[in-house]
Structure 1
């Protein structure tokens, strides 16, 4: 499906145009139509969407803030390309941090927290039943948000900030390299984690969290794949 040029859309201004470009590029990255390491030239992005380089730069900066794009001085912007070793380090870090968070959460969890988790799991189940171009991205975000909710219940602001960075990096790795079909399994594991948290069973909760992280990492396919050119990845007319 071809997309209309952003510059021809009726938007309020440059910020809206930049957000629309961000959304298109993000979809192409998450869907792996743009390969890790692909160059994102401000001039090419601007030309494709019929906007100034300033607007294109703003869109790329949004993506860089989310960790989907990296900017290199005097070279430009590129689709983030976490190496297999970086991916392993992300999940190794999660194994060190999340059991400690789980221990704190068991000591602090309230009935209101349990209800918030249950509502989140209902939303995860709803997303799993949906289809469409945004479904996979929404599932990944919801899965990450579950772990951030656990960190919030843990009450340690420093660990929560660490988790925010780790979840952002994990989501990028999963979006780029995750195999299809694992989301329902992850949702089931979240249900088990919530049951252990409800029972305040620290040992079981920590074990389930570690098993879940192992499962997420095992689902990665880090073999190199060829991507499309920028114009083709965005499905824009020649």
Structure 2
């Protein structure tokens, strides 16, 4: 690689890092209810707020679109996704079909190292629950979703793992829009009981606990929309 290629490669890498950071910030604002579904996310405004080019802003919005958190409309731009009550039900119906099977598959593959990773993750989740403030709340929501993603990883099915990445992201948006409690509805104690079943090799119990867990998450939804704020006011600067 010549010097010019190295410079272009470094620039591309820096732009990717910037796009990822913008994606993370916008995702937090969406999950934390600070950006309401339907909010317009213009490339120009995002670029100005984060001091990046429209190209970098567009890349960040495309990442969110891939996750299902942003929708793009031809000749109109990008908007925070606005799942209908029926779409919310479909998200959890999909999880109810998939995740009990993931729990069974994970039970047959889980190792001592995996169990240690789960325990560390749940310790982190517990710390966020005990903390206060919006940053801790966002971290708790992410940590709760990470439990499900870790389980999908242990199950060893790459296709299902990709499905779960999208479903967890969409669930975060649905919970942010319709959740009664204002925090993650992924019960920490239910996670602990599932891990205990996995550690004891009880696949049937782990699967049943997962089904009940998803039922409890969905039961926390009240299917009423909540108002949001302007993009500039919603971001942490």
Which TM-score band applies after superposition, normalised by the shorter structure?
0.7 to 0.9
Question: Following TM superposition, by how much is the alpha carbon of 1:173 offset from its aligned partner in structure 2, in angstroms?
Answer: 1.7
Spell out, residue by residue over 1:56-114, the C-alpha distance to the aligned partner (whole angstroms, 9 max, x if none): 33332333234322112211000111111111111111111111112222222222222
For residues 115 and 21 of structure 1, what CA distance do their matches in structure 2 show?
32
Per the alignment, residue 31 of structure 1 pairs with 32
Spell out, residue by residue over 1:132-158, the C-alpha distance to the aligned partner (whole angstroms, 9 max, x if none): 332222212211111122222222233
Per the alignment, residue 173 of structure 1 pairs with 174
Deviates more, 1:155-164 or 1:91-100: 155-164
SS in 2 for 1:174: helix
For residues 122 and 208 of structure 1, what CA distance do their matches in structure 2 show?
20
For residues 101 and 21 of structure 2, what CA distance do their matches in structure 1 show?
39
Deviates more, 1:151-160 or 1:194-203: 151-160
For residues 199 and 62 of structure 1, what CA distance do their matches in structure 2 show?
38
Does the 8 A contact of 1:27 with 1:134 survive in 2? no
Per the alignment, residue 99 of structure 2 pairs with 98
Structure-2-length-normalised TM-score = 0.81
Runs (5+) with no aligned partner, structure 2:
1-12
Runs (5+) with no aligned partner, structure 1:
1-11
Matches within 5 A, 1:38-53: 38-48=39-49, 51-53=52-54
Deviates more, 1:207-216 or 1:33-42: 33-42
Question: Following TM superposition, by how much is the alpha carbon of 1:15 offset from its aligned partner in structure 2, in angstroms?
Answer: 5.6
Spell out, residue by residue over 1:173-232, the C-alpha distance to the aligned partner (whole angstroms, 9 max, x if none): 223332336648710100000111112122221111011001111112320222223344
Per the alignment, residue 4 of structure 1 pairs with none
In structure 2, the CA distance between the partners of 1:134 and 1:182, relative to structure 1 (3 Å rule), is closer
For residues 235 and 229 of structure 1, what CA distance do their matches in structure 2 show?
12
Matches within 5 A, 1:45-84: 45-48=46-49, 51-84=52-85
In structure 2, the CA distance between the partners of 1:182 and 1:44, relative to structure 1 (3 Å rule), is closer
For residues 16 and 104 of structure 1, what CA distance do their matches in structure 2 show?
34
Per the alignment, residue 9 of structure 1 pairs with none
Does the 8 A contact of 1:182 with 1:219 survive in 2? no
Deviates more, 1:205-214 or 1:52-61: 52-61
Structure-1-length-normalised TM-score = 0.81
Equivalences, count: 225
For residues 191 and 154 of structure 2, what CA distance do their matches in structure 1 show?
15
Does the 8 A contact of 2:186 with 2:213 survive in 1? no
Per the alignment, residue 197 of structure 1 pairs with 198
Per the alignment, residue 5 of structure 1 pairs with none
